[in-house]
Amino acid sequence: MDGVTELAHGKVSKVIRRGDGFTWHGVPLEPYKPTTETYRNVTRRELVGKRGEGTAFHLRYFEVAPGGFTTYERHQHEHVVVPLRGRGVVLIGEARHEVGVGDVIYVAPDDPHQLGAPAGASEPFGFLCIVDAVRDRPVPVEGYGVCDICV
Amino acid sequence: MDGVTELAHGKVSKVIRRGDGFTWHGVPLEPYKPTTETYRNVTRRELVGKRGEGTAFHLRYFEVAPGGFTTYERHQHEHVVVPLRGRGVVLIGEARHEVGVGDVIYVAPDDPHQLGAPAGASEPFGFLCIVDAVRDRPVPVEGYGVCDICV
């Protein structure tokens, strides 16, 4: 299984090897969203859930470059975020949290939220994000939230 | 929210702060299973899903001390495992994988599996494990699998 870069599809046990830095063999780098109007400098890697697995959840890795931020948005599905790299700023409702590796962030239904990396950061802010496989579409919230602070 | 050790229950946004090492404020250390017959030196921390959140998944952190191993078992629900600490050995079916921080392990339905930490390891093997919230009960599999190798 090791050294094979094409990941198995379907319900097939596998080890997705971490590569250099925060990359994984067989997991392509993707844009965070199709359009870039509401976010800045965010990438996405789909780790589990988009290759025919049957889990009720999807596991993704996002990375926000210094000065970047995700869309300030809300939705009914919940977010669970676990930072793996660097430090970031999480805005949830009116609360602003500085977070680091190993913290666990739970975003409740319908709470507006945004994740960002301080402009002066020495490395990107990278985090796992786990969501229900069946979920509603996010709705952008007016304003840019945390980006006023961290960019 | 910071500095409060009692974690909010229900669908309430929160940051679960990592404490010293691989601990989290407000998250108690629990035994891996009620009885110790089929495993050795494994602890559990429930991070998300057991405090009234509505996620279709549960996020837990397990730690296996050097020489320890989880139950060699099978079940219909899938496992997603992300090591955060140390190195471990994962047995899935007849395959044995050495894994480290940041690898992602997907265990398919009904595949017998076990996770262990080498007896000579300098630190525990710690990992996130994500499972469906609604899931079947594991069934122990004959034999101890990887423990013959890693203990």
pLDDT tens-digit series, residues B50-65? 999 999 999 999 999 9
**ipTM attached to this prediction:** 0.91
Q: Rounded to an integer, what distance in angstroms lies between the CA atom of residue B58 and that of residue A132?
A: 11
Q: Rounded to an integer, what distance in angstroms lies between the CA atom of residue A135 and that of residue A15?
A: 26
- Does residue A113 have a pLDDT over 90? yes
8 Å CB contact between B127 and B115: yes
* Long-range CB contacts (within 8 A, 24+) of A23-27: A24/A61, A24/B102, A24/B104
Q: How many CB atoms lie within 10 A of CB A122?
A: 8
Q: Rounded to an integer, what distance in angstroms lies between the CA atom of residue B138 and that of residue B4?
A: 35
Section A105-124 average pLDDT: 96
Section B72-90 average pLDDT: 97
Q: Rounded to an integer, what distance in angstroms lies between the CA atom of residue A46 and that of residue A24?
A: 10
Q: Which of B133, B132, B78, B99 is nearest to A11 (CA)?
A: B78
Residues 54-73 of B with CB under 8 A from A: 54-57, 59
Is the torsion defined by CA of B137, B143, B149, B151 positive or negative?
positive
- Does residue B147 have a pLDDT over 70? no
Q: Which of A57, A84, A111 sits opposite B57 (nearest CB)?
A: A57
Q: Write phi, then psi, for B27 (nearest 5 degrees).
A: -110, 110
Section A11-32 average pLDDT: 94
- Does residue B2 have a pLDDT over 50? no
- B3-21 confidence digits (pLDDT tens): 456 899 999 999 999 999 9
Residues 77-106 of B with CB under 8 A from A: 78, 80, 82, 84, 90, 92-93, 95, 97, 99-106
Q: How many CB atoms lie within 10 A of CB A54?
A: 14
Section B75-89 average pLDDT: 97
8 Å CB contact between B117 and A27: no
Predicted pLDDT of residue A33: 75
* Least confidently predicted of A74-83, A111-120, B25-34, B127-136: B25-34
Residue A14 neighbours by CB under 8 Å, 6+ apart? A1, A7, A8, B105, B106
- Does residue A2 have a pLDDT over 90? no
Q: Rounded to an integer, what distance in angstroms lies between the CA atom of residue A4 and that of residue A1?
A: 6
pTM over 0.95: no
Section B74-80 average pLDDT: 97
- The verdict on a CB contact (< 8 Å) between B108 and A12 is yes
The residue behind tokens 């007016």 is A142
Please, which pLDDT band fits residue B149 given cuts at 50, 70 and 90? very low
Q: One-letter amino acid identity for B16? A: I
CA distance to A28, A69, A148, per residue, from A40 (Å): 19, 5, 13
Q: Write phi, then psi, for A34 (nearest 5 degrees).
A: -60, -35
What is chain B's mean pLDDT, rounded?
90
- The verdict on a CB contact (< 8 Å) between B59 and A80 is yes
What is chain A's mean pLDDT, rounded?
90
Predicted pLDDT of residue A4: 54
A98, two tokens? 């500085």
Please, which pLDDT band fits residue B36 given cuts at 50, 70 and 90? low
Share of chain A above pLDDT 70, in %: 88
Please, which pLDDT band fits residue B95 given cuts at 50, 70 and 90? very high
Predicted pLDDT of residue A1: 44
Chain A hits for B14, CB-CB cut-off 8 Å, are 105-106
- The verdict on a CB contact (< 8 Å) between A17 and B105 is no
Predicted pLDDT of residue B148: 45
- The verdict on a CB contact (< 8 Å) between B130 and A130 is yes
Search chain B and give the residue with CA nearest A108.
B13
A129 is catalytic: yes
